[in-house]
Amino acid sequence: MTPIRVLIVDDSAVIRRLLTAVIDTDPAIDVVGVAHDGQMGLQRIEELQPDLVTLDVEMPIMDGITALRHIRKRYPRLPVVMFSTLTERGASATIEALSLGASDYVTKPSNVGSIGVAIERVKEQLIPKIKALCPRPSAVPRPAPVVAAPRPRAATTGFDVVAIGSSTGGPSALRVVLTALPASFPLPIVITQHMPPLFTKQLADRLHDGCAISVREAVTGDRLAPGLALIAPGDRHLVFERKAIGVTAKLSDAPAENFCRPSVDTMLRSVHATFGGRVLTVMLTGMGADGCKETGLLRDAGGYVIAQDEESSVVWGMPGAVVHTGFSDAVVPLDDVARAIVDRVATTISRPTRPRPTVSV
């Protein structure tokens, strides 16, 4: 099996050595070169033809955002993983990079006294993402996974909420879906996107600025309302409570599920407990299978499930798991997801148009 060839672009010699040490722990991945700024990185890409590039955000001569713009013009399908600081500024730059076509990101370790600890923390994030973005055929041939036929379920009688799960490639996918929804969209939307603290707030703010509906990072006590999308904060699960004023959001510090906090399965379990089967579930691009189990239970209760197709997914893990287990009702390209949501809601619900909720600051 040919190793995955990685180019590291970072102005810090310490970080270049750290990333090289991380990648050297896995025989399936090789560092084929390094560069200390974006301009040199573009030259090394042309020379080395890597399978994947790790790209620092802040660099002299040419920063990571500028370099990414050039990479996407010349190499539109080359996977690029941004390497950013876990700060508000780093989060903002990373969200900008993802909107410009970066494939994913890894956060730099902070306040780590041991280089060994730093290596392990980066390894946990970086190695799985490299392998997911650059899949290699197994040395042992395996039969193609069987896509199960949709399982029988109770008839859909209508929806009270749209629940969306996403991970790798999710910020860009969410932008495509949410910006296509009309201001008159008649249902609340709840979202779990795998991201750390600070990043989800930046993502919500950017999405709100570009959408006709309202989008914000959820806080405990937020009331679900038509035309309002709530995003689970980084490192907090998003769950729900039914009160006299309606259904409200609640943030939970319960343990990670599927190695994730926030977890899609945790959110969907609470959605199921609150709304029964009156849920339209949407599974977008992402690694792993978080959300698959509870998606199946929601569908069995009468819910409807839309999965993003493989061709338009950055990583077809989460939606692929839903499709392969027979939990999906529709498998559609990313550009068609919003229309599929609107059309499905229109056939099962009829409510008066309500004004766009005001976002408090």
Question: Where is 118: in which H helix or E strand?
Answer: helix 115-133
Choose, from 290, 309, 329, 336, the residue flagged as catalytic: 290
User: Strand runs (DSSP E) across the chain, as ranges?
Assistant: 4-9, 29-35, 52-56, 80-84, 104-107, 161-166, 189-193, 214-217, 228-231, 237-243, 246-252, 279-283, 304-308, 330-332
Residue environment code for 153-165, b if the CB has 16+ CB neighbours within 10 A, otherwise e: beebeebbbbbbb
Phi-psi region of 218 (alpha: psi -120 to 50; beta: other; left: phi over 0): beta
Pick from 102, 249, 89: nearest CA to 175: 102
Residues pairing with 107 in the sheet: 84
CB 160 within 8 A of CB 94: no
Residue environment code for 301-336, b if the CB has 16+ CB neighbours within 10 A, otherwise e: ebbbbbbbbeebbbbbbbbbbbbbbebbbbbbebeb
Query: Residue 194 catalytic?
Result: yes
Query: Residue 237 catalytic?
Result: no
Choose, from 103, 167, 214, 270, the residue flagged as catalytic: 167
- Tokens matching residue 268: 């969907």
Distance CA 185, CA 252 (A): 28
Choose, from 51, 84, 194, 312, the residue flagged as catalytic: 194
CA angle 161, 167, 170 (to 5 degrees): 75
Distance CA 192, CA 271 (A): 12
CB 345 within 8 A of CB 316: no
- Tokens matching residue 37: 């700024």
CA angle 278, 195, 31 (to 5 degrees): 135
Q: Which residues are catalytic?
A: 167, 194, 290
